[in-house]
Amino acid sequence: MEDAAPQTIHLSDYTPPAYLVDKVELTFRLDPERTRVLSRIAFRPNPESREREFFLHGEGLELISSRIDGAEVTPDLVEGGLTCEVPDAPFTWEAEVEIAPVRNTALEGLYMSSGMYCTQCEAEGFRKITYYPDRPDVMAVFSVRIEGDMPVLLSNGNPVSSGDGFAEWHDPWPKPAYLFALVAGDLVDHPGHFTTRSGREVALNIWVRPGDEDKCAFAMEALKKSMTWDEDVYGREYDLDIFNIVAVDDFNMGAMENKGLNIFNSSCVLASPETSTDANFERIEAIIAHEYFHNWTGNRITCRDWFQLCLKEGLTVYRDSQFTADMRSAPVKRISDVIALRARQFREDNGPLAHPVRPESFVEINNFYTATVYEKGAEVIGMLKRLVGDADYARALDLYFERHDGQACTIEDWLAVFEEVTGRDLSQFKRWYSQAGTPRLKVTENFKDGEYTLEFEQKTPPTPGQDQKLPQVIPIAVGLLGPNGDEVVPTTVLEMTEARQSFSFSGLAAEPVPSILRDFSAPVILERETDNAERAFLLAHDTDPFNKWEAGRALAREGLCEMIVAGAPPDAAYLDAVQAMARDDALDPAFRALALGLPSQDDMAQTLHERGHTPDPQAIWEALETLRQARAQHCQDLAARLHAQYQVTEPYRPDAQQTGARALANAALGLISRLDGGAAAQRQFDTATNMTQQLYALSCLLQAGKGEDAVARFYDQWRHDRLVIDKWFMMQVLHAEPAEAAATTERLTRHSDFDMKNPNRFRATLGALAANPAGFHHASGAGYRLLADWLIRLDPVNPQTTARMCSAFETWKRYDDSRQALVAAELDRVLSTPALSRDTTEMLSRIRG
Ligand code: ARG
Ligand code: ZN
């Protein structure tokens, strides 16, 4: 079939499916080159639709035979699927197709990874397995028979029967095809067990490749905690007799919530103290929770169409962040989430890829699994909860589950339960779902006769396709501090609805210092004229942990701006304040470690750009280096004290307490390494008993230019562990000097362990280049050229991972003319590649603008 020009799909074109499916029976005869898929599907005309054309999606399938009600038919094969004459009544469709999993390098549909068969169907991968109405509003009950000479044969739902070379599964819960999954391979099981609160006994299994079974215990505990938490906090119980998780080495994303059979990128499930950092452990716990929580928010209640993706993803991210906040430290989680939100979502929202939380059109839906849909989608739910309060949030969620269980829903359905429970009109709030861009919230203050007034003005800059923005509802959490640092007005949520709006506080004895946007109560950019004295005051006295951290961050950012723009020396106010904070043993070590973090290079580029400067990546890098050096000198004694004091002597536990101690000790090591030529880092590297210590020491050595020996020894030690070797690739690129970064990356792509077909390895190498801004944006253009070369190479192999990597270029319009010219040439070169995928074409055209 000829490839037609890529089509744009619009939310406004939604129509209900012409036919519904009651029952699906699938038989798989597995073979790497010639897998046969037999389908038997009970269709009936949809009473809600007037459309009578019978269309089934299908891609890359070889149709062997097809029958309707037992009689052979000859369907019309058309672009993207088939059509066929069908009876005007319920009928049974049967088809046999052939596919070649071993040649499926796109890792979408049925593919092979390290000798095992596995699937990834979200969003539109099921059509690569068989002909089917591959849309989430078609929900059906699936029965699956797998035939293959593999010891472990898994699918969704409950096991029905199994024997030599076959297994049968039945999933009683109607589901869309994107939640279908199949796994077959030589796998070993880490078993567990859970009893739900109503007494259902659930067998839990984590399936991994032989040799990985000692890295499953942490994920199993995380799963049990998630199951308990969802019962306790949302009243949601698990609904099958078995819950399987499988670890797969080759996977485009983090993990997938297939009903009863979650499939995970092995990097998001396998963990041991020796091979995983504290950050890895925390991420694994969060992703296990995320996928498990999808069982209710995603699976039992799914999306009507892919424009509603945030319905399940925003809510599930919100739920997993609540879970992490409960399991660990809520302030630390909030601060980390905001750092990530600004780094990824603000960046997206303020560039050519900006799109609403609920997009209105797409070419390739895989390109919309974005920070905006996920993370801003979660922020929107957090705002909603703040506006209606905890009790009404809980009532609305109960109503949502009760009313929509078993349905494929929309954002309108979601908002309606809140409107009903609270009596509020949420039509203005809905703009958070339809308007792209990060609102700028400007605030001015006025104090007179004991009355303190905050005047806010909101403005959202234009984004692609949206020139004019209307005012949004912004919950602004505010507290006021008196001159002596006491809180005179505790946190109050101001509800801003107008473009300009004032709020007053009366009866104040003296002019207060405001703490605005506490807990980061809305995903906006706050603009306020203030000075370093006030920032230092808030850093010392604010009772809101987020704003306390934010004050320190602002001090660092302002100081850096002065250094970059005006050539100022490092700011003494910042150095004193950060030292005072780091020294304060009454504060949580994890919080202090966060406060010792500096804005990233990309943060600084973003900030300078917002303020009308053209960021110079090299100057940003140099300013950060200078500041790090000055800080090391300023905090020399303290660093030595902290590094010794916060060594963990107990056996390793990846919990919040030990994680915080190690983070602070490592931050101290970072300071020490600036002055001692890497001696302390070398000692830590040599004696490390866990990956958190070992990897951080390696990064210090690389930054000190003393990494050569450690890099070689790290490789020898870990050459047989793919996930650790990913870190080895990543560290070298991330910490390469700006002028060396492209060459280092290029050299590593020639290493015998580099494998572009493995998304983890590709991201560890080329993704790390993009995460080294001074290197990637080096004036020579070598970084741009190298990445473009690899996009061209990877695209025919794996369009989805290629398209994701394109976002490295999304900030190109911030930079100077000569860099822009270099990027434009590379974008055009990739775009003119023959047969470039729909995925990559869409991303690069949007970026090119
Ligand atoms: N639903 C999965 C999750 O949020 C992500 C899967 C996305 N897959 C994709 N091909 N876009 O955990
Ligand atoms: Zn998800």
Q: Encode burial over 453-479: b for 16+ CB neighbours within 10 A, e otherwise.
A: ebebbbebbebeebeebebbbbbbbbb
pTM of the model: 0.99
255 lines ligand 1 (CB under 6 A): yes
CA distance 794 to 757: 8
The ipTM, to two decimals, is 0.98
pLDDT for position 459? 98
Pocket test for ligand 1, best of 119, 122, 292, 372 (most atoms within 8 A of CB): 122
Residue 464 C-alpha from the chain's centroid: 23
369 lines ligand 1 (CB under 6 A): yes
Q: What are phi and psi of 754, to 5 degrees?
A: -75, 135
3-state SS string for 622-679: HHHHHHHHHHHHHCHHHHHHHHHHCCCCCCCCCCHHHHHHHHHHHHHHHHHHCCCCCH
pLDDT for position 338? 98
123 lines ligand 1 (CB under 6 A): yes
Write the CB contacts of 639 (distance below 8 Å, at least 6 apart in sequence): 632, 668, 669, 671, 672
CA distances from 66 to 62, 85, 205, 225 (A): 11, 12, 37, 47
253 lines ligand 1 (CB under 6 A): yes
pLDDT for position 123? 98
DSSP string across 575-630: HHHHHHHHH-TTS-HHHHHHHH----HHHHHHHHHHTT----HHHHHHHHHHHHHH
pLDDT for position 207? 99
Count of CA atoms in the C-beta half-sphere (13 A) of 192: 22
Write the CB contacts of 818 (distance below 8 Å, at least 6 apart in sequence): 779
| Dist. CA 286 → ligand 1 center (Å) | 15
- Helices and strands per DSSP (H, E), number in the chain: 30, 31
Which atom of ligand 1 lies nearest, measured to the CA of 313?
4
| Dist. CA 837 → ligand 2 center (Å) | 25
Q: Whose CA is nearest to atom 11 of ligand 1?
A: 366
202 lines ligand 1 (CB under 6 A): no
Q: Whose CA is nearest to atom 5 of ligand 1?
A: 256
pLDDT for position 238? 99
347: how many CB neighbours lie within 10 A of its CB? 22
* CB distance 126 to 132 below 8 Å: yes
Q: Whose CA is nearest to atom 1 of ligand 1?
A: 256
| Dist. CA 800 → ligand 1 center (Å) | 12
The residues placing their C-beta within 5 Å of ligand 2, an ion, are: 313, 316
124 lines ligand 1 (CB under 6 A): no
Query: What DSSP state is assigned to residue 244?
Result: E
Write the CB contacts of 724 (distance below 8 Å, at least 6 apart in sequence): 275, 691, 718
839 lines ligand 1 (CB under 6 A): no
122 lines ligand 1 (CB under 6 A): yes
| Dist. CA 714 → ligand 1 center (Å) | 32
Q: Whose CA is nearest to atom 8 of ligand 1?
A: 122
497: how many CB neighbours lie within 10 A of its CB? 12
Pocket test for ligand 1, best of 256, 268, 290, 318 (most atoms within 8 A of CB): 256
Which atom of ligand 1 lies nearest, measured to the CA of 255?
12
Write the CB contacts of 233 (distance below 8 Å, at least 6 apart in sequence): 322, 323, 326
Just list the catalytic residues.
Answer: 291
pLDDT for position 2? 41
Q: Whose CA is nearest to atom 2 of ligand 1?
A: 256
Query: Rg of the Cα trace of the chain?
Result: 27
Give me the residues of the chain with pLDDT under 50, please: 1-2
3-state SS string for 390-444: HHHHHHHHHHHHHHHCCCEECHHHHHHHHHHHHCCCCCCCCHHHHCCCCCEEEEE
pLDDT for position 6? 80
252 lines ligand 1 (CB under 6 A): yes
Portion of the chain with pLDDT greater than 90, in percent: 99
